[in-house]
Structure 1
Amino acid sequence: MNDEKRDFDSEALTRDKEPARVKLSNDVVQAICGLISLTSDMNVLDFGCGTGLLTLQIQPFVRSITGIDSSQGMLNVLDAKISKLGITNVRTHLFDIIRGVLPFGEFDLVVSSMTFHHIKDVSLLLKAMAGVIHSSGQIVIIDLDPDDGKFHDSNEGVFHFGFERSIMKKLLEEAGYDSIREKTAASMQRVSPTGETRGFSIFIMVGRKST
């Protein structure tokens, strides 16, 4: 695992052209809707929103959604989409991954898809998220089951080679969440640099902030 920061800005313009990522975002939305109800009175935080593939699918069902990311390049792509579509209930926020400063305010739901394996101190982040979720609000984490470090072509900026679900559940409980549920959200096929096709399992885990 590599402590160097990956350059996501350079990937921003091609992110939406990857069919596997688009399919994954569709599968993730279906998995989310299978476990929780998205309602018009919800204020949502999408942590690690990237170019907004997930953000913009959640947007029509909720009051507001804030997409945050550590890559300004990714946010620029999302901002351009928001402007083109004339959407008024989505805003973006650059996340300082060093300081770990989350937006002010309270959210009914925090969702994070395929981002936690890039976070060094998962426990610290989960506790910070609890600080911006209102009482009885929910958190949704979508990430890799253990992948032996083979999901990415390069493990630059990767701190976890997937997660054992039991370990993630324990981290959530320690950070102040209960009523935790999980299931397999999707599977994803990727071709390695050597031409080998590999399959990866992706879980979704939902927790409610303890009152």
Structure 2
Amino acid sequence: MASTTDATPGIGNARFNTDAANWDSNPSIQLATSLAFQSYLSRLPPPSELSSFNVLEIGCGTGLLSLMLAPHVRSLTAVDAAEGMIEVLSSKLAPGGAHEKVKNVRPVAYLLEDPEDPVIKIDPVTGQQWEGKFDLVISHLVLHHVADLPSLFRTIYGTLKPGTGRVITTDFENFGPEARRFHPEAKMEGVERHGIVQKEMEEILRGVGFEDVKVERGFVLQKRVESEPGKGDMESGPVMEFPFLVCEGRRV
């Protein structure tokens, strides 16, 4: 069934709404997403099982990861608080769009805080109301923008199937002061932390009830950075390596 957008006025981050139109043209974003996708696939069940999964993505952006994963799963509900990002994803799925043949992705412009929110209770495939829980929740390069991570993971926990539902998230690691260089100084709006920390993430996941918790380095992204803070020369600056942590857990 055709994907739909549930836009709520006043939500989203102004920076991301502004950046949405050019988001996909950033080679670092494309590369990070491809590396994350491979990390997800290597940790997920074989195709025979994965093809039955209903997936929730939090902070989907323009749907780069959503559209990579969509052919492998039954459905994907793609949520982002920035309306501009969802508009780009919706345009990809619309008739004439680059991904118009994809019928199992449902874009939703929303700041999800309640695991029982009706906004995620619509089946992307049938368009009908759905009272089930998700097999998998994913989130890529979102955690460093979230002020209250325990609250986010409590919400994620509540959206998952008891006993089998899993969360897998990816974000760059806070390996020290140099991790700040992941973002140019002009793009610090909405950055709550300069990467995530392994031990802290393990404590957060266990603290909200997840079992089989694993937080480990999944891949390393080579990314250009400013030669000096605030110089704005990201396209010609030096290349740095940023390790990414993969955070996993299973709902009890």
Normalised by the size of structure 1, how large is the TM-score? 0.90
Alignment of 1:115-194 (within 5 A): 115-135=142-162, 136-147=164-175, 148=177, 149-153=180-184, 154-194=187-227
Q: Secondary structure at the match of 1:205?
A: strand
Separation of aligned partners in 2, 1:110 and 1:79? 20
Aligned pair partner of 1:29 in 5, 24, 37:
37
> Distance between the aligned counterparts of 2:82 and 2:106, measured in 1?
15
2 CA distance for matches of 1:131 and 1:176?
A: 10
Whether the 8 Å CA contact 1:6–1:157 is kept in 2: the answer is: no
Aligned to 1:67: 78
Distance in 1, Cα, partners of 2:216 & 2:200: 14
Distance 1:141 1:6 in 2: 24
How far has the Cα of 1:66 moved from its partner? 0.6
Within the candidate set 7, 10, 17, 1:9 is matched to 17
For residue 199 of structure 1, report the CA deviation from its aligned partner. Answer: 1.7
SS in 2 for 1:150: helix
Superposition map of 1:16-55 within 5 A:
16-37=24-45, 39-55=50-66
How much has 1:155 moved relative to structure 2?
1.9
Contact persistence 2:220–2:243 (CA under 8 A): yes
What are the ranges of 5 or more consecutive residues in structure 1 without an aligned counterpart? Answer: none
Contact 2:15 2:189 in 1 (8 A): no
Over the aligned positions, Cα root-mean-square deviation in angstroms equals 1.6
Amino acid in structure 2 at the alignment position of 1:199: E
Q: Does 1:90 align with 2:121?
A: no
List gaps (5 residues or longer) in structure 2: 1-12, 122-130, 228-236
Residue in 1 that maps onto 2:138: 111
SS at structure 2 position matched to 1:91:
strand
State the alpha-carbon separation in 1 of the partners of residues 22 and 216 from structure 2.
30
Q: Distance in 1 between matches of 2:72 and 2:15?
A: 32
The structure, 1 or 2, with the larger RCO (C-alpha pairs under 8 Å, 6+ apart) is: 1
- Calculate percent identity across the aligned residue pairs: 28
Look up the equivalent residue of 1:93 and give its one-letter code. V
Name the one with the larger strand percent.
1
What's 2:126 paired with? Answer: none
In the alignment, is the contact (CA less than 8 A) between 1:181 and 1:205 conserved in 2?
yes
Do the aligned partners of 1:24 and 1:186 also contact (CA within 8 Å) in 2? no
Q: By how many angstroms is 1:141 displaced? A: 1.1
TM-score by length of 2: 0.76
Q: What is the number of residues matched between the two proteins?
A: 204
| Contact 1:29-1:57 within 8 A present in 2 as well | yes
Residue from 89, 96, 107 that aligns with 1:78: 89
State the alpha-carbon separation in 1 of the partners of residues 77 and 150 from structure 2: 22
Separation in 1, partners of 2:215, 2:109: 29
